[in-house]
Amino acid sequence: MRLLTLLALGLSAIQFAFAQSCTLTALGAGKDDSPQLLTAMQTCSTVVVPTTTTLNISTRLNMTGLTNKHLNLQGTMRFNPNIAYWTANGFPFTFQTQITFWIFGGTNLILDGGGTLDGAGQAWYDAFAKNSTLLRPITLTLFQATNVLVQNIKFLNSPEWFNLVNEGKNVTYNNVTMNAASTSSNGAANTDGWDIYRSDQVQITNSVINNGDDCVSFKVYSTNIFVSNLNCTGSHGISVGSLGQFAGMFDIVENVTATNIHMSNAQNGARIKCWAGSGVGSGIVKNITFSGFIESKVDNPVIIGECYMTSASDCAAFPSNTLIQDVFFTNISGTSTGSTVASLGCSPGSRCSDINVNNLALSPPSGTAKYTCQNVKLAGSSAALFGTCATT
């Protein structure tokens, strides 16, 4: 009754405050839809963007500290590629010097609906080719978000990483697709699928990713992560790290499983990367399983590298301070692009322990497959393929 009275009075703002479900349509050509989307997310428990609607997102989206919200995106959110605006106003992250269009956080959040997040990346790919220090926005950052489901969403042409999970807990992504494709000669650079950072209990399932950098990357303090049934094409692989980069910092990645992964035309398949050299940090990588990988034309199908971004001489003089323990590479098959199909390179000084290789069946384009290893004692049914590991 009260609601009806207010409606009769035409108090649209108050009517909004009572609404459980709100439907947004675009304001029209030349208009910015960000303010109305922010207001709706504050005031309604469900926000529906219909299939025929494309919201023009021209100002940054601070959607943090929300509780019990459902963004039902059936249509599109397109991030207006105003480069000068975003480089000055994107939310900054000091970690790896990133910016983002959108921070989404709080408790009990759902983003679904079958719609599209269009990063309008082409302008960014072309601008980055002219300015290699250009800051480019991450499309979606889950920021201090707990109990979150992102499901049935299509991501298009992110200017930078598609997804960052920053200080999240119990976050699930299911049935998402990502496509980063440049129509010019300038590549879709640094378009990681997901970067997980200081986050616990993250699940990523049933998704298809076509991009130009890591498919999934587990960065500092990623714990209890489960990734399954992904098809990654053109990527840099499923990567733990890079870790141990910053002096004085101790990095942890623990309890990660990546299983049932199709990896095609990629730089890496299953990968762990750590820094060495003078003045770097330290850390531990523990209990990591890569299983059920089917790879096609991958440069490094199975790889541990403890000299990431470090010259061979620095790496010998200053071995990595990151320990790698309890790692399982299991049931990995398919083809490489070069003769080396697996390379497990640890720093001297017993940095790696309990490294297991089972049911590896990888083929180079021609000749004999090379399985190489350094400074590590391997266990498992495929250990014999590697022979005696070199010590340095």
Ligand X SMILES: *[C@@H]1O[C@H](CO)[C@@H](O)[C@H](O)[C@H]1NC(C)=O
Residues near ligand X (CB under 6 A): 29-32, 56, 58, 62, 64-65, 80, 87, 91, 114, 131, 133-135, 147-149, 152, 154, 170, 172, 175, 206, 208, 223-224, 226, 229, 231, 254-257, 260, 262, 287, 292, 294, 331
Q: Which two tokens stand for residue 364?
A: 């180079």
- Catalytic machinery residues: 213, 236
* Burial per residue of 201-211, b for 16 or more beta-carbon CB atoms within 10 angstroms, e otherwise: bbebbebbbbb
Q: For residues 23 and 172, which CB has a smaller minimum distance to ligand X in the complex?
A: 172
Q: Does residue 342 contact residue 359 with C-beta atoms inside 8 Å?
A: no
* Burial per residue of 247-262, b for 16 or more beta-carbon CB atoms within 10 angstroms, e otherwise: eeeebebbbbebbbbb
By DSSP bridging, strand 340-345 and strand 282-308 are: parallel
Q: For residues 65 and 338, which CB has a smaller minimum distance to ligand X in the complex?
A: 65
Smallest gap from Cβ 144 to ligand X, in A, equals: 10
Smallest gap from Cβ 116 to ligand X, in A, equals: 8
Q: For residues 43 and 255, which CB has a smaller minimum distance to ligand X in the complex?
A: 255
Smallest gap from Cβ 68 to ligand X, in A, equals: 11
Q: Does residue 168 contact residue 145 with C-beta atoms inside 8 Å?
A: yes
Closest CA relative to residue 172, chosen from 147, 155, 207, 140: 147
| Residues forming beta bridges with residue 379, ordered by sequence position | 356
Eight-state DSSP code of residue 215: S
Q: Does residue 218 contact residue 239 with C-beta atoms inside 8 Å?
A: yes
Smallest gap from Cβ 378 to ligand X, in A, equals: 19
Smallest gap from Cβ 58 to ligand X, in A, equals: 4
Distance CA 78, CA 116 (A): 8
Q: Does residue 322 contact residue 275 with C-beta atoms inside 8 Å?
A: yes
Q: Which residue lies nearest ligand X, judged by its C-beta?
A: 292
* Burial per residue of 24-42, b for 16 or more beta-carbon CB atoms within 10 angstroms, e otherwise: bebeeeeeebbebbebbbe
Distance CA 247, CA 281 (A): 4
Q: For residues 88 and 317, which CB has a smaller minimum distance to ligand X in the complex?
A: 88
- Do you find a cis peptide bond into 242, omega within 30 degrees of 0? yes
Rounded CA Rg of the chain: 23
Classify 87 as helix, strand or coil: helix
Closest CA relative to residue 271, chosen from 236, 310, 244, 303: 303
Any alpha helices (H) in the chain, and if so which ranges? 2-9, 12-18, 34-43, 83-89, 122-130, 312-317, 383-386
Smallest gap from Cβ 211 to ligand X, in A, equals: 15
Q: For residues 10 and 30, which CB has a smaller minimum distance to ligand X in the complex?
A: 30
Smallest gap from Cβ 294 to ligand X, in A, equals: 5
Smallest gap from Cβ 391 to ligand X, in A, equals: 28
Q: For residues 50 and 348, which CB has a smaller minimum distance to ligand X in the complex?
A: 50
Q: For residues 16 and 226, which CB has a smaller minimum distance to ligand X in the complex?
A: 226
Q: For residues 137 and 345, which CB has a smaller minimum distance to ligand X in the complex?
A: 137
Q: Does residue 235 contact residue 193 with C-beta atoms inside 8 Å?
A: yes
